[in-house]
Structure 1
């Protein structure tokens, strides 16, 4: 990995500055408030909008919110995410060749994040400390200007939505050795004073679990088991 700790493979035949300027120009032509691609399992739960900030309580949710934009061809970045899992990111569909990683921006995290927001569509940030209203306001203004999205792993003042995981469980082989196959978790989305929205999702892939379909399977199993007895 390069000294800038970037996973992204820029075109070596062209000036890095020129390529970044092109991305800045592209971001300036996008409109704040326009939809940002989201994974199908999350589209109904948290439709993301350019110029907004979303707070999450886990790395898996942060990756999931960045994956939709990456799949659609956008550039994404991660700042302060020292435990960034490249394998988990790729499994969700994040294109590593269009991903920029700054695992430890240190005391300059605000300037680094602002620079990433200037050139990337979605930026995931894990702040090193609590964030004040004033600091958050500076980045919020930058997001609206560049029509980017900020996903914060942690607390953030005035976030558009806050996502948390609950009832998380892994499934795998019933007996013996083997790898974990699927993770199921309930995602809770809170937006201001509105009632929270809950959805059951599965990893990898982040697919929606339809409660009615799952209930139907249980009903069929009960009937079959009853006849077998």
Structure 2
């Protein structure tokens, strides 16, 4: 049987190596597996954008973790979220000494948020912060003037960044029914820089800090499935 083109090429290479005294070795290159990064990998530039609104949908836990990962020495105001647990915030790493809480501002919610945007770096407008689209736009304009950040679990008109939880899985003793020890969240980040969206896998084991792992091929693969 006549040698193939590949076999002839290998024979020629070995002949050259013998002439110049080069020893040929087969090398196996192992690609390093991607390693999880801190939760701030979810954010463009690794921090909350200033003078902007960020929405975190369908996960109170992710909101708490995000506040713990980005607070540093900044003040946080919580408006219209009476059910948000201070224990959960503390476990997420939030410094409760730098928290201002207004559980329910009623019909004065827009005014309260506007006042807090003047002096607090991160203002969280909770699910009871019922605002019209025009009020959201006015508050966002104020945040831009004061270079502060608005965080909200509800959609916000003109938000620069949206983090949406597509799936969540908790586990622990008795399948997580009584003591949740491990969390896996599938999160999609949407912004002007993300095109169709960037997907992340968020993992937290016990009381360790949650980590993020980007999956930048997921949107394309999802598009192929829809077409097929």
More off after superposition, 200-209 vs 77-86: 200-209
- Residue 43 of structure 2 aligns with which residue? 46
CA shift, 1:83, in A, is 0.6
Deviation at 1:166, TM superposition (A): 2.1
Say yes or no: does 1:185 pair with 2:182.
no
Residue 223 (structure 2) pairs with residue 196 (structure 1): no
TM-score for both structures, normalised by structure 1: 0.67
Larger radius of gyration: 2
Unmatched tracts of structure 2, length 5 or more: 1-36, 216-228
- Structure-2-length-normalised TM-score: 0.67
Change (3 A) 1:209 1:176: closer
Show the counterpart of 1:27: none
Q: Hey, what does 1:78 align to over in structure 2?
A: 78
Would the alpha carbon gap of residues 104 and 207 (structure 1) be closer, same or farther in structure 2, given more than 3 Å must change? Answer: same
1:63 is the counterpart of 2:60? no
In the other structure, the counterpart of 1:168 is 168
- The CA distance in 2 between the partners of 1:61 and 1:178, in whole Å, is 20
Give SS of 1:73's match: coil
What is the CA RMSD across the aligned residues, in angstroms?
Answer: 2.5
Distance 1:112 1:130, change over 3 A: closer
Could you say what secondary structure the match of 2:164 adopts? strand
Output the CA distance in 2 between the equivalents of 1:175 and 1:155: 32
